[in-house]
Each structure stands twice: as C-alpha cells, then as structure tokens.
Amino acid sequence: MKSVEIKPDIYWVGAIDWAVRDFHGYLTPNGTTYNNYLIMDEQVTLVDTVKQDFNTHTIKNIKSLTDPSKIVNIVINHIEPDHASSLDSIMALCPNATIYITNKGQKGLARHFDISKWKIKIVKTGDTLKTGKYTLSFLETPMLHWPDSMMTYVNEAKLLFSQDAFGQHLATSARFDDDFVECASITELNDAVVDYYANILMPFGRLIKSKIAEVQKLGLEIDMIAPDHGIIWRKDPGSILKQYLDLANGKAELRIALIYDTMWHSTERMTIPIMQGIKDEGVDCKVIKLRATPMSVAIKEFWKSRGCLIGSPTLNNLLFPSVAEFLTHLRGLRPKDRIMGAFGSYGWGGGAVRDANEEFKRMKLEMVEPGIQVLYKPSLEDENQCYEFGKNFAVKVKEYHKNFI
C-alpha cells in the first residue's frame, strides 16, 4: 500500500502483512501491519523500520517521497525484529544517517547487526531532536514492550509514535480508526485491541498505568497516536488511552471462560451441566476447547472474563498436556484480578485438578477450591454435582466482581 500522509509532511510508509497467521506463536487470523513513519522535514527522519521480509515495501514508499540517501535521522523506538530487522537494508541506502535509540536498544542492536560503522546517538527521556519545523521528544518506556523500548512525541504535531503500545494485529487497507470503523465496526476494533493487550501486554499493566500517568504529568497534548501495528488513532485518541487504563486496572466482563480439553469426552461432558449452572445464576459463559482453539483466542477469552474454570482430564497423574501448556503460557502473562476454579475426570489416581489448583496458587489468583473431579465418565449424580459446582462458582464470581465496580 502506498504512503499515507498522517500529519502535514509526516507519512505512514509501512507494510501490510495480509498473510501472517502465526506471529511468533501468537495466532493472528487477521494478519497485521508493520507501521513506520517518514517525517519530510528539513532533516528527513525515519521513525522505525519494518520486518525484514517487507523491506521492499517500505523502501518503495520512502522512494515515492524522497531519495532514501536524504534520510538524516532514524529513530528506533523498539528493536524487536518486526520493527527493526530492516535497519541494515535502510542503512545501506543512507549510511550517513544517525540512529536515535535508547542505551538498551543500542546494546540489543549490536547483537543483531554489525553496528561498528553506524552513527548512533543514545537518548533518554526528555531528550529532543529538532528536525526543522518539528521537534521530537523521547520517552523511555522500558518493558513496553522490551527493555529497549521508547516512544517519540512530535511536539508541534501533537503526535505520539507509540511503537507496540495501542497497536492491534489487523491487516486492513484502513489506516485510521474512523476509516476502519466505517468499513468494519467498532466492536471488531475493540476486540482487536483486547486481543493484542491480552496476548502481549497483559504482564505490563502496572507499567502502562505509570507511563500514561507520566504522559499526563508532562502535560503532553495528544491528538494522534500512531502505533507500529494496526490502525492509527486520530478520531479519538483519548478513547484508546482510557481503554488501556481500564485494561490495566483489570476491567473484565461479568462472565466465565470455561477452558478445557478432553481425552474420551468425560471432561467435555462435565462442561455442559457446569455451563448450565453458570447460566442459571445469570452469568454469561464462553466454552473453549483448547485443541480446537488457537491459544491466543483462549488467552483473550480468559482476559475478557472475570472468572475462569479450567477443565482437564488426568494423564499419567498430571494435567492433560494442552491444558498444562495453556496454564504455563498464562502464568508467563502474569494475570491479575481474575478468579479461578478447576474440574476434570480421572481414571485412578487423579492429579489434574490438584495441579490446576497449584498453578492458580503460583499465579496468586483468587480461586475456589477444591474443584470437582469425576471418576471415568460422569453419572447422572455427577452431572447434578457439576451443575451445582457451576452455580456455586458463578455466585463466587458475582461476589468477586463487585470489587471492580
């Protein structure tokens, strides 16, 4: 897609990846974009690059605006390869350009490229770069997303280049939020924001809150947020800031995600009366079978819901592997403000429900113990107990949810 002017003399020059479905293990059914930006000021300045496979896209877009040899500055807000792996291709076209990057960014860059001949300027929060009519201010945001990360604010344009933050994995010809909503819907956009937050930024809620507070304290007026993935927020950038604050504060729906896997359908049979018990308590319920659902979707559904029930058969005295994988993945995302419970079937010794409860404790999540186990296949009596288990768990979730309203 050709370059798009987003502010006077500031252009999106990125690439759209319509086909990516596995983004380092994160399933992306809607593809993604690698956004980077060119400031056509007295000093031509590039902000970020794109994934290496797409370097011809961004180079073509840059060439449509200027000779790349005229690039004077390159700001690298984040060194993850989806944003920085084209840097050597770009530097080959403008070898005299100066790279602006954080200290940790430079160290990371040196692990990916031979940087010995590159001019690099280390920047920290508060440092500025005057490109002509525009002034760029740098704001370090370590761990949002990596230790090297920073954001760049263009003072005169009230524009924040936010790298991963406020992004979405959406391949779309729409470049702006209002364009996207016009051709798709706000629901689809919000869902993409939650999906991205849950799978990438969930561990960093506290940092997000403190960075947003820092931006507010600096009194930065923001009328556009341009992330490195997905659409650009121009219609109402305040709405995405609020959405992020809500997500960081643990906002969730009064709803239960029932996430399970099954061997011979016994654990699966348990989900039906449990779900019915939940519904009869007036709580919405989403049922997800792990081997039939991408991990990233299960994570998103977990994050949207105040409560979560994990169902697993016992295999060799342990959790079923797909359930263990899900819980390990979830633990790495350091979830908060959710309440958990466990259920499952077993043949002799048991162990899956016990291990699920242990995982919840390691994650320091609220939980309802001890869960429910069924020997081999649920009997009618077992199904009645599952129904009561679902009702009781829904009551606990409703009670817990009151802490957040």
Q: Which residues bind ligand FEO (CB under 6 A)?
A: 78, 80, 82-83, 145-146, 164, 228-229
- The helices-and-strands tally (H runs, E runs) of the chain is 13, 24
Question: In which residue are the tokens 């829904």 written?
Answer: 394
Active site residue 164: yes
Closest CA to 327 of 361, 303, 359: 359
- Active-site position among 164, 195, 261, 281: 164
Separation of alpha carbons 213 and 366, rounded Å: 28
Q: Which residue's CB is nearer to ligand FEO, number 80 or number 191?
A: 80
**Cβ atoms of 36 and 45 closer than 8 Å:** no
Separation of alpha carbons 34 and 82, rounded Å: 7
Q: Which residue's CB is nearer to ligand FEO, number 145 or number 269?
A: 145
Question: Shortest distance, CB of residue 82 to ligand FEO, whole angstroms?
Answer: 4
Active site residue 24: yes
Q: Which residue's CB is nearer to ligand FEO, number 146 or number 400?
A: 146
Question: Shortest distance, CB of residue 141 to ligand FEO, whole angstroms?
Answer: 11
Active site residue 82: yes
Q: Which residue's CB is nearer to ligand FEO, number 166 or number 393?
A: 166
Q: Which residue's CB is nearer to ligand FEO, number 81 or number 347?
A: 81
Question: Shortest distance, CB of residue 228 to ligand FEO, whole angstroms?
Answer: 6
Contacts by 352-355, CB closer than 8 A, 24 or more apart: 352/312, 352/313, 352/314, 352/315, 352/318, 352/319, 352/320, 352/323, 353/312, 353/314, 355/312, 355/318, 355/319, 355/324
Q: Which residue's CB is nearer to ligand FEO, number 145 or number 354?
A: 145
Residues 6+ apart with CB under 8 A from 332: 203
**Cβ atoms of 277 and 310 closer than 8 Å:** no
- Active-site position among 57, 78, 83, 169: 78
Separation of alpha carbons 97 and 99, rounded Å: 6
Question: In which residue are the tokens 């877009």 written?
Answer: 61
- Active-site position among 134, 153, 196, 244: 196
Q: Which residue's CB is nearer to ligand FEO, number 50 or number 324?
A: 50
3-state helix, strand, coil in the chain (%, to 5): 40, 25, 35
Question: Shortest distance, CB of residue 21 to ligand FEO, whole angstroms?
Answer: 16
- Active-site position among 100, 229, 281, 346: 229
C-alpha 217 chain-centroid distance: 25
Question: Shortest distance, CB of residue 333 to ligand FEO, whole angstroms?
Answer: 14
Active site residue 229: yes
Find the largest Cα–Cα distance for the chain. 78
- Active-site position among 48, 82, 177, 261: 82
- Active-site position among 9, 80, 127, 179: 80
321-332 vs 295-304: helix crossing angle, rounded to 10: 60
Question: Shortest distance, CB of residue 34 to ligand FEO, whole angstroms?
Answer: 8
Q: What is the DSSP letter of 126?
A: T
- Active-site position among 57, 83, 145, 169: 145
Question: Shortest distance, CB of residue 89 to ligand FEO, whole angstroms?
Answer: 18
Which residues form the catalytic set?
24, 78, 80, 82, 145, 164, 196, 229
